Amino acid sequence: MDEDSIYKALDLTMPWAVGLVITKRENKINVCPVTFQVISSIYEKPYVVCIGLSNTNYTLETILKTKEFTYAYPSIKQLKDTLFSGTVSGRNMNKISKTSFEFTKASKISSPHLNGAIVNFECKLDHAYRLERFTIVVGKIVHAQFDRYKKIEKLQKIYALGDFDYGVIEKINVIQSSRT
Ligand SMILES: Cc1cc2nc3c(=O)[nH]c(=O)nc-3n(C[C@H](O)[C@H](O)[C@H](O)COP(=O)(O)O)c2cc1C
């Protein structure tokens, strides 16, 4: 199978959830949206977040230096700021100052939580596997933050739908509620 058809086949795996990697370096907060991400299942411990970051990415450089990051799922209300953050690098500018993102101190690491996100995971770097053009970062989740008293709108995450379309999943049809 050639690269072109693999590209087309990958499109069939969408929608992909959009996550936001939050880092802090010398007191500067930076954010980087990612779709190359997977979160561990509830069945296997330790709980981890795996993200694929381009080797030229400032966020990768920061994580390798600070050994920690926050991984958040921004809500659909944060769509514009999330997408904007993926078009500029924190290496050259303070991108947060151009967004309305607000943050709260985390409990176990120095990168903060994103206010208004569906959930924030505090992660400590466990492994970094460098490949040709990107690095798979595995972060062990040391703390999770979400609003226990609010109805959690888990489908209000941002999804990449393909062709640079982004949206929410409005309706799910439950077909079966058990494994047998
Ligand atoms: C929706 C979206 C998803 C993205 N997914 C990834 C990704 O999975 N991995 C990656 O390295 N870059 C991804 N990018 C690009 C980075 O967010 C972008 O290069 C960003 O400017 C890097 O910022 P930094 O240099 O401050 O870390 C994505 C961008 C957008 C808008």
Pocket test for ligand 1, best of 10, 24, 29, 35 (most atoms within 8 A of CB): 35
* Angle ∠(47,77,15) on CA atoms, nearest 5: 55
Segment 94-98 mean pLDDT? 96
pLDDT at 113 over 70: yes
Residue 35 buriedness (CB in 10 A; 0-12 / 13-18 / 19+):
middle
C-alpha 142 to ligand 1 mean position (Å):
24
Segment (H or E) for 63: helix 58-66
Q: Which of 54, 71, 130, 166 to mutate to test the pocket of ligand 1 (most atoms within 8 A of CB)?
A: 54
Task: Write the burial class of residue 132 (CB in 10 Å: 0-12 exposed, 13-18 middle, 19+ buried).
Answer: exposed
154-179 mean pLDDT? 92
Q: Residue 121: pLDDT band by 50, 70, 90 thresholds?
A: very high
- Contact of 22 with 73, CB cutoff 8 Å: no
Ligand 1 mean position to 31 CA, how many Å?
9
Determine how β-strand 119-130 pairs with β-strand 68-73.
Answer: antiparallel
| Burial zone of 21 (CB within 10 Å; 0-12 exposed, 13-18 middle, 19+ buried) | buried
Distance from Cα 61 to the centre of ligand 1, integer Å: 13
Which letter does DSSP use for residue 152 in this model? P
How many A from CA of 114 to the centre of ligand 1? 17
Global pTM reads: 0.96
Nearest-atom number in ligand 1 for the CA of 82 is 31
CA nearest 140: which of 40, 11, 16, 7? 40
| pLDDT at residue 110 is higher than 80 | yes
Q: Rounded mean pLDDT of 115-128?
A: 97
Of 75 and 1, more confident: 75
Q: Is the pLDDT of residue 104 over 90?
A: yes
Task: Give pLDDT tens digits for 2-59.
Answer: 888 999 999 999 999 999 999 999 999 999 999 999 999 999 999 999 999 999 999 9
Rounded Cα distance, 157 and 17, in Å: 7
The closest-lying atom of ligand 1 relative to the alpha carbon of residue 62 is: 27
pLDDT, residue 1, reads 62
Q: Using alpha carbons, list the distances in angstroms from residue 168 to 28, 66, 155.
A: 30, 33, 7
Residue 75 predicted with pLDDT over 90: yes
Which residues does a 6 A CB cutoff place in the pocket of ligand 1? 18, 30, 32-36, 52-54, 57-59, 83, 86, 88-91, 160
Q: Whose CA is nearest to atom 10 of ligand 1?
A: 53
Q: What strand order describes the sheet that includes 68-73?
A: 28-34, 19-25, 68-73, 119-130, 134-145, 48-54, 37-39
Query: pLDDT, tens digit, for every residue of 137-162?
Result: 999 999 999 887 777 688 889 999 99
How far, in Å, CA of 160 to CA of 169, rounded? 10
According to CATH, the superfamily of the domain at 3-167 is Electron Transport, Fmn-binding Protein; Chain A (2.30.110.10)
